[in-house]
Structure 1
């Protein structure tokens, strides 16, 4: 909106506000026919204002789009929330998702089903405790494959200065229709080799978090190239899984 239009709008709004303030002050002495007309106008205005207030409160209560805000451990030197949980993506949903099909720039689904009965969909988070603006819903119907995994490619910044003294933390918020096991496998490519560390997500705990201490790896710090995470779903048939949030952080391990 042009600056001149904004000025005129503010001027008009102040005039309307003064008009209704004057009517309110004079309502005790106004003629009854005039007061009846004013009451009708006030009720009509109140209906529009109530609609505006309700819509604004609902929208403003949602997590802010683009937010990269989430709790991080002390000493964190890199943190990240993937785009799919942070920004709206152009293609919000896929049905009959094929192997190696991407949703957004960073998330890829891998499976070996002959007939895909899998769907992926980005959804808007609207719960009070959600910090991520968006979530990812996966529906699995008949499943005739042997594996199902969601791969998240981490950005180049995640491996800049990466050392064996680092701890990589992954925090998630997961909802399921029925219990299943989910494993997180961190992959770090260094030269011709790929280091892999696997942790099971503690889905029964209040905070679903896993940490990968690279001190126990054979990481070649001088040749680190890329890092990605596999979320591996065991027994996913006839289930709906919602990942409300997925965040990553990196910190040097405390020395004792």
Structure 2
């Protein structure tokens, strides 16, 4: 974008637009309903644009160093992605007594079967020098009377474009736990009426970890791939705190043998 867009003329136009909207807001109580409907539509357009800009700027300005949310990609990777929860601020940033199927951002949901939820989840800013993701997720589990707890991450549509059995799908994560805990990652790919599943246990000996899913070992129908999601399954999470400072994904074609 040209530097002129941020010059003196741009500042004058911005001030003029702000004065106009302040005048409209001051007169809103006296305007007719037809006028209010038209103005409401325009105001919503402005808010959507402003919200998108704030999401990106808050995420990038929150980065603890010069990186811009880089995703560590293996050699020859043809796709990489980090869910919005780890990229920019969500609203609300946290919830207590989290019910099953509660969503955080557009791609992340929590599932459990507790009768009484004593689960708290909150988005936090990463501030350490080595953090690539601007935001992280903290999950505090107190008494847990259920049999399962999982964090479900929906992969975007472009992850399915050209996806085939020649691919390896990788999940990178930075995980911290208050006390030892087993965490499993289960990849689910729906193709037609069938769903392929692959399970890996996270190697928590290293907080900065990666797990690979080799699709060559599946019966994936490449022409009918519809949807993919990943379950992070926490085994025995009671009285524990889990920090997911980063979660991101990439894929690459496997080496030909």
Query: Shared fold (TM-score greater than 0.5)?
Result: yes
Unaligned 5+ runs, structure 1: 8-58
Secondary structure at 2:85's aligned position in 1? Answer: helix
How many residues in Structure 1 have an aligned counterpart in Structure 2? 204
Task: Give CA-to-partner distance per residue, 1:142-179, whole Å, 9 cap, x none.
Answer: 00000000000010000110000000000000011100
Deviation >2 Å, runs of 4+: 4-7
Aligned to 1:246: 247
User: What CA distance in whole angstroms lies between the structure 1 residues aligned with 2:141 and 2:62?
Assistant: 33
**8 Å contact kept, 2:175–2:208:** no
**8 Å contact kept, 1:68–1:80:** no
User: What CA distance in whole angstroms lies between the structure 1 residues aligned with 2:246 and 2:176?
Assistant: 10
User: What CA distance in whole angstroms lies between the structure 2 residues aligned with 1:90 and 1:191?
Assistant: 35
Given the two structures, how large is their TM-score scaled by the length of structure 1?
Answer: 0.76
Q: 1:3 aligns with which of 5, 8, 14?
A: 8
Q: Offset at 1:70?
A: 1.9
Task: Give CA-to-partner distance per residue, 1:21-50, whole Å, 9 cap, x none.
Answer: xxxxxxxxxxxxxxxxxxxxxxxxxxxxxx
Given the two structures, how large is their TM-score scaled by the length of structure 2?
Answer: 0.75
Q: Offset at 1:251?
A: 0.5
Q: Offset at 1:205?
A: 2.8
Aligned to 1:91: 92
Q: Offset at 1:62?
A: 1.6
**8 Å contact kept, 2:185–2:231:** yes
Matches within 5 A, 1:27-46: none
Secondary structure at 1:122's aligned position in 2? Answer: strand
**8 Å contact kept, 1:113–1:146:** yes
Matches within 5 A, 1:45-60: none
User: What CA distance in whole angstroms lies between the structure 1 residues aligned with 2:178 and 2:106?
Assistant: 27
Q: Offset at 1:207?
A: 3.7
Matches within 5 A, 1:174-253: 174-205=175-206, 207-253=208-254
CA gap of 1:133–1:188, structure 2 versus 1, over 3 A, is same
Q: Offset at 1:60?
A: 7.5
User: What CA distance in whole angstroms lies between the structure 2 residues aligned with 1:102 and 1:210?
Assistant: 24
Secondary structure at 2:95's aligned position in 1? Answer: strand
**8 Å contact kept, 1:119–1:139:** yes
**8 Å contact kept, 2:176–2:207:** no
**8 Å contact kept, 1:63–1:132:** no
User: What CA distance in whole angstroms lies between the structure 2 residues aligned with 1:77 and 1:140?
Assistant: 37
**8 Å contact kept, 2:169–2:212:** yes
Unaligned 5+ runs, structure 2: 1-5, 13-60
